[in-house]
Amino acid sequence: MKRSRVITTALVFALGAGVVAFAPLPGASVKPANRRFRVEASSFKYAPATIKANVGDHVTIDLVSTDVVHGLYVDGYDVSVTADPGRTASLSFVANRAGMFRLRCSVTCGAMHPFMLGKLHVGRNDLLWRALALALLAGLVGVSLAPMRGVRT
């Protein structure tokens, strides 16, 4: 009897986990917009370091270098731009891939150049929310099964 209850609980939670991990979320149907960001690059940081867009947005980044020649490369999109001080350079692309992507400096700009990073967030961070929900579910499994094990011993 108890054994079958454990199996039932496990099955229910497994199903729940499947739903949490793979169920299509109601997409926030936002109309694609034109987004323009002005990003100032100095040794060795971007300001702002984080930019956000919705999936489908037409993103334009105006890169302004304030000391030496800097670049900006967007991981995942494979686009880049280089800006000299005094010459604002623009980078345009359609943010059609959801997720978090690294911005990196693409021009060697000094000793700390490899650590000149930024972030591009496209859309809602589904992965994070799903992971959180799964963790919660795992916790519930633990709580609901633990007393039964206690009974058995």
Partner 1 sequence: MRAEWGARLLVVLGAVGLAVLTVFAVRVPADAVELRGRMADDGGWTPGAIMARVGEPLTLRMTSDDVVHGFAIGQSARPAVDLLPGAWITTTVTFDQPGKYTYYCTRWCGPNHWRMRGTIDVAGPGMRAPADSVPLFLRLKLDLDQAHPSDVVPTETPAAARADGLLAAVALESGDLRTQSPVQVWRTLRKRPANTGLTDRQLWDEVAAVWRAATSPERLAEGRRLYGDNCAACHGETGRGDGVMAKSLAAGPAANSMVGEHTGMPGMSGHGTVAPTDFTNRRNMLGASAAFLQGKIIRGGMGTGMPYWGPIFTESQLWALVDYLWTFQFDYGSSAGSSAASRTKRDSASKPATRPH
Looking only at the bridges linking them, the beta strands covering 58-65 and 34-42 are parallel
Q: How far apart are CA 109 and CA 82, in angstroms?
A: 11
Q: Is 66 in the site for partner 1 (CB under 8 A)?
A: yes
Q: How far apart are CA 121 and CA 100, in angstroms?
A: 5
Q: By CB under 8 A, which span of 13-21, 46-54, 81-89, 141-149 interacts with partner 1?
A: 81-89
Q: Is 88 in the site for partner 1 (CB under 8 A)?
A: yes
Q: Is 54 in the site for partner 1 (CB under 8 A)?
A: no
Q: Is 96 in the site for partner 1 (CB under 8 A)?
A: no
51, 98, 105, 122: residue in contact with partner 1 (rule CB under 8 A) = 105
85, 119, 124, 134: residue in contact with partner 1 (rule CB under 8 A) = 85
Provide the minimum distance between the beta carbon of 118 and partner 1 in the complex, in angstroms, as a whole number.
Answer: 12
Q: Is 134 in the site for partner 1 (CB under 8 A)?
A: no
- CA separation, residue 148 to residues 46, 100, 121 (Å): 54, 41, 44
Compare residues 105 and 122 and give the one whose CB is closer to partner 1. Answer: 105
Q: How far apart are CA 113 and CA 16, in angstroms?
A: 45
Q: Is 53 in the site for partner 1 (CB under 8 A)?
A: no
- Is the link from the previous residue into 44 a cis peptide, with omega within 30 of 0? yes
Q: How far apart are CA 100 and CA 123, in angstroms?
A: 9
Residues composing the chain:
153
Provide the minimum distance between the beta carbon of 55 and partner 1 in the complex, in angstroms, as a whole number.
Answer: 19
Q: Which residues bind partner 1 (CB under 8 A)?
A: 40, 62, 64-69, 71, 73, 78-82, 84-93, 104-111, 114
